[in-house]
């Protein structure tokens, strides 16, 4: 454990700093990718395939090209050539092949957005259609991967559970749609982009365009939500770059419509999960077997890996997991908040509730009873595993003790009332070798520069706190500049590892600055350093939490309301209380959406997401959220991350859907194993 220097002890005092960019956002002066002004701006609108598989036989662009104001129409016939980097998602407008419905097959650039869109509507596309495989089938059984030892152990277990759970496709629907603005001049590409990582975006584009990385400048200073959908480079960004190459000197703005985002910016794969548990009569787990099926795209493989958490959540003599991917002619799934853990913890934690009932053990106690001493899968120690603390603190705050475990036992004014619990977890990771630079400015403030991303999470604020702390100055004397690719090297915002990974570099730069320039620097004094947070090689580092839910369900209509949610989290040190709390509340709210609202409905003939807008794809609004309480354990994880930080971005969603589904079962006696829970589930 490292010894903290005196200035660093001040961190707690900075922990409630207001969001440093709050005013700019509220006043509207924060410029998002589609807001950044440019002279000679022109606008691009994409044309999407209307078939799921086949090839283009003819694209008639005559009517679009004849339209006054249209500058260029790009198709695979005339678009600039890209280097094939073996990522078919970004190999845009290069071949006549169509691999999913919604693929970009043409793009129109015009002097106004309206003309570009009209031009796109005037393009006629003919296809040769090939048979496509689209249907995933949420209700199909999963065949467990054969494991004789597991089958024998299950057969011998006094209490057995063998159940199927399913989760539908879910979409990120960040408030800010995906957008890019590209300009090509003097052999360099300048790109305004809404992204979780400017260096990742730069590197992919540099490879595609065969440019040195420093000839691609990516800026993304403000991002209006992302949830994983803005990590990978998506086709619209490449389209904007191609249009820029075709029209040198012009700035090409391309903003996807909400509907276009559903096919072009990723989604969470649907899952089917077969959970088999074997336990002693007191609930002690003997076998945990989880076999899952997920969907991926023929264009590019991406696995959600929802079987992940089952292997390490609980002590069990025997464990088994398997994952099978259905390769379909569908848009490409991607990272979405709490990848793997989010659907995985729904199924596992609802099945644990079923086991608790089968063993007549309290569900909080069942989890505590199965607490492992080390990671059951790897045998490595957990540096800080405080799941039991979270469960106990939560049970006490929530009033769990008074709970009568009998389902369908509480009714008030026509509503069935129930409560449920779930564990939460998310792995801790950190990306080595980020860099940061600190420069002392003439106005007496310290400028901290790192190409990190603030996707709305508050990283600008958290990094200001860490820099102020390490420099020993008030945060009002620190300014953080991020989101531009010519700043020092930084990893993407993802995996909840941003603050700890970038923070390590910022702290290293502050120490280097003080070592080189002392405490009374002159204007222009500058230091740059690399920093890495913690070494995880011999540890199994994870965050944990407990989610408690209360629901009421109308006996006559089946309407379900989440009346209370309580989340208790163990996430290492919390750097900034305001923005961290907002991450937890946001994650838990997204969990309500997952439990009750969100379902991408796919047309299994044509591969279309039918409800591809916010009228059809529901997410929670204020009226859906009654009471959310967030608590975190006061802790520090000195061995794990920079300043003991593990990260807060994703754990908030995990376990919420299970807690709600378990509460719904407690309220009504109806066990729903497929999300989202709907009125129909409670009306039979
Ligand atoms: Mo997160 S899904 O790694 O943005």
Share of the chain above pLDDT 70, in %: 97
End-to-end CA distance of the chain: 58
CA of 120 to the centre of ligand 1 (A): 32
In 373-525 the beta strands, taken as DSSP E runs, fall at: 411-412, 415-427, 434-440, 446-449, 478-481
Nearest to 21 by CA among 443, 440, 456, 438: 456
Contact (Cβ atoms closer than 8 angstroms) between residue 70 and residue 81: no
Instruction: Tell me the pLDDT band of 395, cut-offs 50, 70 and 90.
Output: very high
User: SS3 of 314, please?
Assistant: coil
CA 623 to chain centre: 24
Instruction: Tell me the pLDDT band of 1, cut-offs 50, 70 and 90.
Output: very low
Ligand 1, from 339, 594, 648: best to mutate by most atoms within 8 Å of Cβ? 339
Mean pLDDT of 6-27: 74
Which residues, 6 or more positions from 520, have their beta carbon under 8 angstroms from its beta carbon?
none
Longest CA span, the chain: 77
What one-character-per-residue DSSP string does 485-542 give? TTSSP---S-TT-HHHHHHHHHHHHHHHHHHHHTTSPPTT-EEEEEE-----TT---E
Told to judge if 650 belongs to the known catalytic residues of this protein, a careful annotator would answer yes
For the cut 80, the answer to whether the pLDDT of residue 148 exceeds it is yes
For the cut 60, the answer to whether the pLDDT of residue 3 exceeds it is no
Q: What is the pLDDT of residues 557-566, one digit of tens each?
A: 999 999 999 9
What one-character-per-residue DSSP string does 148-204 give? HHHHHHHHH-SEEEEEEEEE--B----SSPPEEEEEEETTEEEEEE--S-HHHHHHH
**Whole-number pLDDT of residue 11:** 58
Q: ∠ CA 538-369-647 to the nearest 5 degrees?
A: 45
CA of 458 to the centre of ligand 1 (A): 15
Does the domain made of 433-530 have the CATH classification 3.30.2320.80?
no
CA of 125 to the centre of ligand 1 (A): 36
Contact (Cβ atoms closer than 8 angstroms) between residue 560 and residue 665: no
Q: Whose CA is nearest to atom 4 of ligand 1?
A: 228
Q: Kindly report the number of other CB atoms within 10 A of residue 68's CB atom.
A: 7
For residue 334, count CB atoms less than 10 angstroms from its CB and return exposed for 0-12, middle for 13-18, buried for 19 or more: buried
For domain 148-169+267-428+538-682, give the CATH number: 3.30.365.10
Report how far residue 488's alpha carbon sits from residue 531's, in angstroms, rounded to the nearest whole number: 12
CA of 229 to the centre of ligand 1 (A): 8
CA dihedral over 23, 29, 35, 37, signed as positive or negative: negative
CA of 582 to the centre of ligand 1 (A): 16
**Whole-number pLDDT of residue 12:** 57
Q: What is the pLDDT of residues 291-323, one digit of tens each?
A: 999 999 999 999 999 999 998 999 999 999 999
**Whole-number pLDDT of residue 9:** 43
Which residues, 6 or more positions from 436, have their beta carbon under 8 angstroms from its beta carbon?
448, 449, 450, 488, 490, 502, 505, 506, 508, 509, 528, 529, 531
Same fold, 41-131+178-255 and 148-169+267-428+538-682: no
Ligand 1, from 172, 231, 459: best to mutate by most atoms within 8 Å of Cβ? 231
**Whole-number pLDDT of residue 462:** 96
For the cut 90, the answer to whether the pLDDT of residue 430 exceeds it is no
Share of the chain above pLDDT 90, in %: 92
Ligand 1, from 494, 500, 653: best to mutate by most atoms within 8 Å of Cβ? 494
**Whole-number pLDDT of residue 432:** 83
**Whole-number pLDDT of residue 354:** 98
**Whole-number pLDDT of residue 370:** 98
Instruction: Tell me the pLDDT band of 636, cut-offs 50, 70 and 90.
Output: confident
CA of 286 to the centre of ligand 1 (A): 33
Threshold 0.95, pTM exceeds: yes
**Whole-number pLDDT of residue 515:** 98
Atom nearest to 339 CA in ligand 1: 2
Ligand 1, from 305, 308, 337: best to mutate by most atoms within 8 Å of Cβ? 337
CA of 166 to the centre of ligand 1 (A): 21
Instruction: Tell me the pLDDT band of 8, cut-offs 50, 70 and 90.
Output: very low
User: SS3 of 353, please?
Assistant: helix
Mean pLDDT of 574-594: 96
CA dihedral over 73, 75, 81, 87, signed as positive or negative: positive
Contact (Cβ atoms closer than 8 angstroms) between residue 466 and residue 506: yes
Report how far residue 129's alpha carbon sits from residue 325's, in angstroms, rounded to the nearest whole number: 24
Supply 474's token pair: 């008030």
Mean pLDDT of 90-113: 98
Atom nearest to 227 CA in ligand 1: 4
Q: Ligand 1: which residues within 6 Å by Cβ?
A: 196, 227-228, 231, 335-337, 339, 494-495, 650
Mean pLDDT of 660-673: 98
Instruction: Tell me the pLDDT band of 643, cut-offs 50, 70 and 90.
Output: confident
Q: Which position among 294, 550, 599, 650 bears the catalytic label?
A: 650
Which residues, 6 or more positions from 22, have their beta carbon under 8 angstroms from its beta carbon?
none
Which residues, 6 or more positions from 292, have their beta carbon under 8 angstroms from its beta carbon?
142, 271, 272, 273, 274, 306, 307, 321, 322, 323, 324, 344
Atom nearest to 649 CA in ligand 1: 1
Mean pLDDT of 224-246: 98
Report how far residue 489's alpha carbon sits from residue 509's, in angstroms, rounded to the nearest whole number: 13
CA of 602 to the centre of ligand 1 (A): 24
User: SS3 of 600, please?
Assistant: coil
Mean of per-residue pLDDT scores for the chain = 95
Q: What is the pLDDT of residues 329-355, one digit of tens each?
A: 999 999 999 999 999 999 999 999 999
Mean pLDDT of 636-657: 88
**Whole-number pLDDT of residue 672:** 98
**3-31 per-residue burial string, b: 16 or more CB within 10 A, e: under 16:** eeeebbebbeebbebebbbeeeeeeeebe
Q: Kindly report the number of other CB atoms within 10 A of residue 476's CB atom.
A: 11
Report how far residue 150's alpha carbon sits from residue 141's, in angstroms, rounded to the nearest whole number: 19
CA of 338 to the centre of ligand 1 (A): 6
Atom nearest to 495 CA in ligand 1: 3
- Domain coordinates of the chain in residue numbers? 41-131+178-255, 148-169+267-428+538-682, 433-530
**Whole-number pLDDT of residue 13:** 56
CA 70 to chain centre: 37
Contact (Cβ atoms closer than 8 angstroms) between residue 536 and residue 557: no
Atom nearest to 493 CA in ligand 1: 4
**Whole-number pLDDT of residue 591:** 98
CA of 230 to the centre of ligand 1 (A): 9
Report how far residue 27's alpha carbon sits from residue 302's, in angstroms, rounded to the nearest whole number: 39
Atom nearest to 228 CA in ligand 1: 4
CATH of 41-131+178-255, one of 3.40.640.10, 3.30.565.10, 3.90.1170.50, 2.60.120.10: 3.90.1170.50
Q: In what order do the strands lie in the sheet with 97-98?
A: 97-98, 54-60, 124-129
Mean pLDDT of 394-411: 97
Report how far residue 611's alpha carbon sits from residue 617's, in angstroms, rounded to the nearest whole number: 6
Contact (Cβ atoms closer than 8 angstroms) between residue 467 and residue 506: yes
Mean pLDDT of 412-417: 98
CA of 335 to the centre of ligand 1 (A): 6
């Amino acid at each position: 454990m490292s010894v903290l220097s005196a200035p660093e002890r001040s961190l707690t005092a900075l922990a409630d700093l207001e969001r440093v960019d709050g005013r700019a956002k509220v006043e509207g002066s924060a410029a998002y990718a589609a807001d950044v002004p440019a002279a000679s701006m022109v606008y691009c609108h994409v044309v999407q395939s209307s078939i799921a598989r086949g090839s283009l036989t003819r694209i008639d662009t005559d009517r679009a090209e004849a339209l006054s104001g249209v500058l260029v129409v790009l198709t695979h016939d005339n678009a600039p050539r890209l280097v094939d980097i073996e990522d078919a998602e970004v190999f845009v407008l290069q071949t006549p092949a169509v691999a999913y419905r919604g693929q970009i097959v043409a793009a129109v650039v015009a002097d106004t957005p309206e003309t570009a869109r009209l031009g796109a509507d005037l393009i006629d596309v003919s296809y040769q259609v090939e048979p496509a495989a689209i249907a995933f089938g949420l209700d199909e059984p999963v065949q467990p991967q054969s494991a004789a030892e597991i089958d024998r152990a299950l057969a011998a277990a006094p209490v057995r559970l063998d159940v199927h759970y399913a989760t539908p496709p879910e979409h990120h629907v960040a408030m800010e749609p995906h957008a890019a603005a590209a300009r090509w001049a003097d052999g360099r590409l300048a790109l305004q982009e809404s992204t979780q990582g400017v260096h990742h975006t730069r590197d992919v584009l540099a490879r595609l365009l065969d440019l040195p990385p420093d000839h691609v400048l990516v800026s993304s200073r403000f991002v209006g939500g992302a949830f994983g959908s803005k990590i990978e480079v998506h086709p619209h960004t490449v389209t904007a770059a191609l249009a820029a190459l075709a029209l040198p000197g012009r700035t090409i703005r391309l903003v996807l419509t909400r509907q276009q985002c559903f096919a072009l910016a990723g989604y969470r794969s649907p899952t089917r999960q077969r959970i088999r548990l074997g336990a002693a009569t007191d609930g002690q787990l003997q076998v945990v077997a989880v076999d899952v099926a997920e969907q991926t795209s023929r264009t590019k493989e991406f696995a959600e890996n929802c079987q992940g958490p089952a292997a390490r959540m609980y002590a069990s003599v025997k464990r088994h997991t398997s994952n099978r991917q259905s390769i379909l002619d569908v848009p490409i799934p991607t990272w979405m908040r709490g990848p793997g853990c989010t659907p995985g913890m729904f199924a596992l934690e609802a099945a644990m509730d079923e086991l608790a009932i089968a063993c007549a053990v309290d569900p909080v106690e069942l989890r505590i009873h199965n607490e492992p001493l080390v990671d059951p899968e790897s045998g490595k120690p957990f540096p800080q595993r405080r799941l039991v603390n979270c469960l106990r603190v939560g049970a006490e705050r929530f009033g769990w003790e008074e709970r009568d475990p009998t389902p369908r036992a509480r009714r008030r004014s026509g509503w069935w009332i129930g409560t449920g619990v779930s564990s939460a977890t998310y792995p801790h990771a950190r990306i080595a070798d980020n860099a940061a630079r600190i420069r002392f400015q003439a106005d007496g403030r310290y400028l901290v520069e790192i190409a990190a991303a603030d996707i709305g999470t508050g990283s600008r604020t958290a990094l200001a706190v860490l820099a102020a702390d390490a420099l020993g100055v008030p945060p009002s004397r620190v300014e953080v500049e991020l989101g531009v690719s010519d700043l020092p090297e930084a990893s993407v915002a993802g995996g909840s590892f941003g603050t700890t990974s970038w923070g390590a570099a910022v702290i290293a730069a502050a120490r280097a600055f003080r070592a080189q320039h002392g405490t009374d620097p002159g204007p222009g004094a500058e230091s740059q350093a690399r920093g890495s947070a913690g070494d995880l090689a011999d540890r199994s580092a994870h965050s944990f939490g407990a989610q408690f839910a209360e629901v009421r369900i109308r006996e006559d209509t089946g309407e379900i309301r989440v009346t209370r949610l309580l989340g208790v989290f163990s996430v290492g040190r919390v750097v900034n209380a305001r923005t961290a709390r907002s991450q937890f509340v946001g994650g838990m709210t997204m969990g309500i959406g997952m439990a009750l609202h969100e379902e991408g409905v796919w047309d299994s003939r044509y591969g279309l997401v039918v409800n591809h807008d916010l009228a059809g794809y529901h997410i929670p609004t204020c009226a859906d959220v009654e009471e959310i309480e967030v608590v975190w354990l006061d802790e520090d994880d000195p061995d794990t991350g920079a300043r003991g930080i593990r990260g807060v971005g994703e754990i908030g969603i995990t376990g919420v859907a299970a807690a709600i589904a378990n509460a719904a079962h407690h309220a009504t006696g109806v066990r729903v194993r497929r999300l989202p829970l709907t009125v129909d589930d409670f009306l039979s």
